[in-house]
């Protein structure tokens, strides 16, 4: 028997779960009995949520502003006015989740457990009588007189309203494989270029490999065709394939955007608080005072040991035994390399390593309620739209905001009808 619903939500991720709860609450508030279902391809809802924020779920940021977003950012201004971080924290508090602000405005559940966020959604879905249908990988949607016919390989449901929140392409091992984009095309939508973002950057292997496992504070600058484009400070992690860490994640979007046709490099300034001249002066002092210090240990007291040795090795192909034998020109070359530790970028890692998708359905294809302009009765929410945020809770904030907006609007449209 084909089940009929008033509202079906495709995707039980952050945006879809919030949309379903918001829709059910809106219907309750207006004393309307509506049948609502979440259709999820995975065996369980919210798998990705559990992986967010290293298992702690950085669910919003006190510094939400369009400057932290990329894509069709203009269109999200009214949404962020309506759904400020304070509002999102208040909404979570009303659902039973206490939150706490940490460093750099990042907000987490008070108990620092992502599972708490999923638990409150599971509880809400149950108490609001929202049906959760798992193992339902939607592969086709047809517009009908009833509303929508939504099919998987083995099942079909009908719904008067449809909220699409199937995510992007990032981290497909947790369910979001981009299938939503193809389905939405059949309903009249388009999709911009898609590329992985908030991801490790691959560099020329000879440079990266010897440093594998090391971490170092740095000011990282992306340079395209010789011109500096963006600088972010933070901790750089050196990996087998290249560079990682939050500051590199922030630069990775540009790598995807510019593509490999451009010459892209990342420059690390490993002592951003000091000028090259100051560093030279300090190294000269070491050379003059520490007679028995081996030359390759020159930077042991300054930088991560592995990084320091590699800098000395690369700056000085002919290394004397002791630091005191280094000439002024050689010390100047080391100081220069500390400020200009450069990596040729060869691309980013793959979708399965990416935290988010850059690109998606253009925002001008939905109205301010997230309703499709191409297909009335269809609402879009979350990562599948052409907006992506920086690291720090900005992406989940987008998922909650669009989830609430679409859920409330879909419910209201039933009532208005
Ligand atoms: C490891 C990791 C850590 C992250 N940490 C943070 C963080 O701390 N803070 C932050 O702000 N952001 C973080 N992000 C990004 C954030 O998780 C996403 O932006 C957010 O989850 C997007 O929500 P969404 O609901 O749009 O998509 P998703 O969370 O991807 O949910 C989409 C759901 O739809 C389902 N689905 C897909 N296709 C179909 C289909 N055809 N039929 C039925 N169901 C389907 C999927 O299985 C999935 O459950 C992180 C991402 C990753 C990968």
Residue nearest ligand 1's atom 29 by CA: 13
CA 308 to centroid of ligand 1, rounded, Å: 39
Tell which atom from ligand 1 comes closest to the C-alpha of 381. Answer: 26
Q: Please compute the mean of the pLDDT values over residues 222-243 and round it to a whole number.
A: 96
Q: How far apart are CA 95 and CA 25, in angstroms?
A: 11
Q: How far apart are CA 213 and CA 114, in angstroms?
A: 27
pLDDT of residue 417: 60
Mean pLDDT over the full length of the chain: 95
Residue 188: left (phi > 0), alpha (psi -120 to 50), or beta?
left
Q: Please compute the mean of the pLDDT values over residues 20-45 and round it to a whole number.
A: 96
CA 54 to centroid of ligand 1, rounded, Å: 14
Identify the residues whose C-beta falls under 6 Å from ligand 1.
10-16, 39-42, 47-48, 51-53, 57-58, 136-138, 165-167, 170-171, 175-176, 179-180, 355-356, 382-383, 393-396, 399
Residue ranges per domain, the chain? 3-196+356-416, 200-348
Q: Please compute the mean of the pLDDT values over residues 404-409 and round it to a whole number.
A: 98
Residue 58 pLDDT level (bands cut at 50, 70, 90): very high
Let me know: does 157 contact 372? Beta carbons within 8 Å. no
Give the closest residue to 226 by CA, choosing from 344, 67, 55: 344
Residue 117 pLDDT level (bands cut at 50, 70, 90): very high
Mutate to test the pocket of ligand 1, among 194, 355, 381 (most ligand atoms within 8 A of CB): 355
Residue nearest ligand 1's atom 39 by CA: 166
E strand or H helix that includes residue 278: helix 276-289
CA 49 to centroid of ligand 1, rounded, Å: 7
Q: How far apart are CA 140 and CA 137, in angstroms?
A: 9
Q: What is the pLDDT of residues 273-290, one digit of tens each?
A: 999 999 999 999 998 888
CA geometry: angle 199, 184, 397, nearest 5 deg: 45
99: Cα separation from own chain's centroid: 20
pLDDT of residue 320: 87
CA 12 to centroid of ligand 1, rounded, Å: 9
- Which residues pair with residue 36 across a beta bridge? 7
CA 242 to centroid of ligand 1, rounded, Å: 25
Q: Please compute the mean of the pLDDT values over residues 378-396 and round it to a whole number.
A: 97
CB neighbourhood size of 394 (10 A): 23
pLDDT of residue 10: 98
Mutate to test the pocket of ligand 1, among 10, 11, 21, 44 (most ligand atoms within 8 A of CB): 11
Q: Please compute the mean of the pLDDT values over residues 70-88 and round it to a whole number.
A: 94
CB neighbourhood size of 191 (10 A): 18
**E strand map for 51-181:** 60-61, 69-71, 99-101, 106-109, 131-133, 140-143, 148-151, 156-164
pLDDT of residue 263: 95
Q: Please compute the mean of the pLDDT values over residues 323-345 and round it to a whole number.
A: 95
Q: Please compute the mean of the pLDDT values over residues 72-94 and round it to a whole number.
A: 95
pLDDT of residue 415: 79
pLDDT of residue 9: 98
Percent of the chain with pLDDT over 70: 100
SS3 content of the chain, % helix, strand, coil (to 5): 40, 25, 35
| Res 183 pLDDT > 70 | yes
Tell me which fold the domain 3-196+356-416 belongs to.
FAD/NAD(P)-binding domain (3.50.50)
Give the closest residue to 143 by CA, choosing from 118, 125, 160, 155: 160
| Res 294 pLDDT > 80 | yes
Flag whether the pTM goes above 0.75.
yes
Q: What is the pLDDT of residues 123-178, one digit of tens each?
A: 999 999 999 999 999 999 999 999 999 999 999 999 999 999 999 999 999 999 99
Tell which atom from ligand 1 comes closest to the C-alpha of 168. Answer: 30
Percent of the chain with pLDDT over 90: 91
CA 338 to centroid of ligand 1, rounded, Å: 39
Tell which atom from ligand 1 comes closest to the C-alpha of 397. Answer: 11
Let me know: does 199 contact 252? Beta carbons within 8 Å. yes
Mutate to test the pocket of ligand 1, among 167, 172, 389, 393 (most ligand atoms within 8 A of CB): 167
Q: Please compute the mean of the pLDDT values over residues 30-47 and round it to a whole number.
A: 96
pLDDT of residue 261: 86
Q: How far apart are CA 124 and CA 48, in angstroms?
A: 18
């Amino acid at each position: 028997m084909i089940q009929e619903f008033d509202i079906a939500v495709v995707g039980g991720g952050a945006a879809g779960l919030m949309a379903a709860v918001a829709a059910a609450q809106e219907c309750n508030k207006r004393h309307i009995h509506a049948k609502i279902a979440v259709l999820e391809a995975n065996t369980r809802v919210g798998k990705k949520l559990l992986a967010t924020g290293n298992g702690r779920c950085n669910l919003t940021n006190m510094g939400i502003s369009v400057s932290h977003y990329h894509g069709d950012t203009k269109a999200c201004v009214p949404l962020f006015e309506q759904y400020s971080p304070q509002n999102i924290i208040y909404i979570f508090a009303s659902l039973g989740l206490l939150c706490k602000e940490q460093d750099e405005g990042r907000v987490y559940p008070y108990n620092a457990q992502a599972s708490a966020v999923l638990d409150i959604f599971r509880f809400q879905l149950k108490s609001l009588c929202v049906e959760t249908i798992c193992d339902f990988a939607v592969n086709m949607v047809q517009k009908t007189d009833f509303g929508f016919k939504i099919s998987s390989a083995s099942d079909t449901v009908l719904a008067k309203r449809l909220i699409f929140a199937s995510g992007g392409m990032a981290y497909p091992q947790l369910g979001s494989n981009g299938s939503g984009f193809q389905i939405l095309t059949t309903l009249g939508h388009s999709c911009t270029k898609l590329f992985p973002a908030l991801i490790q950057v691959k560099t020329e292997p000879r440079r990266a490999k010897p440093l594998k496992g090391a971490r170092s504070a740095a000011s990282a600058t992306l340079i395209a065709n010789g011109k500096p484009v963006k600088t972010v400070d933070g901790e750089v992690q050196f990996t087998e394939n290249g560079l990682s860490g939050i500051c590199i994640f922030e630069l990775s979007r540009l790598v995807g955007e510019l593509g490999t046709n451009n010459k892209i490099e990342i420059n690390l300034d490993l002592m951003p608080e000091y000028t090259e001249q100051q560093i030279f002066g300090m190294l000269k002092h070491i050379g003059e005072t520490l007679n028995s210090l081996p030359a390759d240990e020159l930077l042991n007291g300054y930088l991560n040991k592995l990084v320091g040795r590699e800098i000395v090795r690369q700056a000085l192909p002919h290394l004397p035994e002791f630091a005191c034998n280094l000439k002024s020109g050689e010390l100047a070359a080391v100081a220069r390399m500390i400020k200009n530790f450069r990596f040729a970028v060869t691309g980013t890692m793959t979708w399965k390593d990416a935290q988010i998708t850059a690109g998606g359905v253009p925002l001008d294809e939905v109205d301010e309620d997230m309703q499709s302009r191409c297909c009335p009765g269809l609402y879009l929410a979350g990562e599948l739209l052409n907006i992506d945020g920086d690291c720090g809770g900005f992406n989940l904030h987008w998922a909650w905001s669009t989830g609430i907006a679409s859920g409330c609007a879909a419910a209201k449209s039933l009532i208005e009808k």
